[in-house]
Amino acid sequence: MRRSIVLAIASLAILAAPAETASAASADEAMAWLAGRWTNKGDCGIGSVQFQRSGAGWSYREARLNGGTTYPATASADASGVVTVRIPSQDYEYVNTFRGKDTFDAVEGFTAGPMNGRRLSKTYSRCK
C-alpha cells in the first residue's frame, strides 16, 4: 500500500511541474519568440538587449553598447528550437535555448579577436 501512495504522489509531482521548463516546440516557434526586448539583470532599460526582424534578416541592439546602436544580425533555429544569433560586426553570438516564450538560457560569447572562445551562461527574461 505504501508503494502505491509513493507512486501516486510522484505521478502528481510530475503533472504539477511547470510547463515553462519545456523548450520551444519547433524552430519556427522559437524564431517567433526571439523577437523582443530581453534582460538578464531585471533591468529593462540600460540592462536590456533587443532582437528584431529587419527585412529578411534580424537586428540586435544592446542598450549600453555604443549608445544603443543597432547592428545587423543573423538568426537561425535547429529542429529542437535552439536559436543561434550572430552579430558579425561585433564578433559575438548567442545560442539560446527557450524555456518558453518569455525565458531563455543563453550561452553567449565572442567568435573572434582576443576574447575568442570566452563563453558566458545567462538566463534572460522578456521585458514587459
Averaged pLDDT for residues 34-55: 94
Alpha helices in 19-128 (DSSP H): 27-34
**125 grid coordinates:** 527574461
pLDDT band at 23 (very low <50, low <70, confident <90, very high): low
Tell me what the pLDDT averaged over the chain comes to. 84
Residue 19 has pLDDT above 90, yes or no: no
**84 grid coordinates:** 543561434
- Radius of gyration for the chain, computed over Cα atoms and rounded to the nearest angstrom: 18
Residue 36 has pLDDT above 80, yes or no: yes
Question: Is there a contact between 37 and 123 (Cβ–Cβ < 8 Å)?
Answer: no
User: Which residues pair with residue 122 across a beta bridge?
Assistant: 106
Domains and CATH numbers, the chain: 22-126 (2.40.128)
**60 grid coordinates:** 540586435
Question: Is there a contact between 105 and 119 (Cβ–Cβ < 8 Å)?
Answer: no
Question: Is there a contact between 77 and 64 (Cβ–Cβ < 8 Å)?
Answer: no
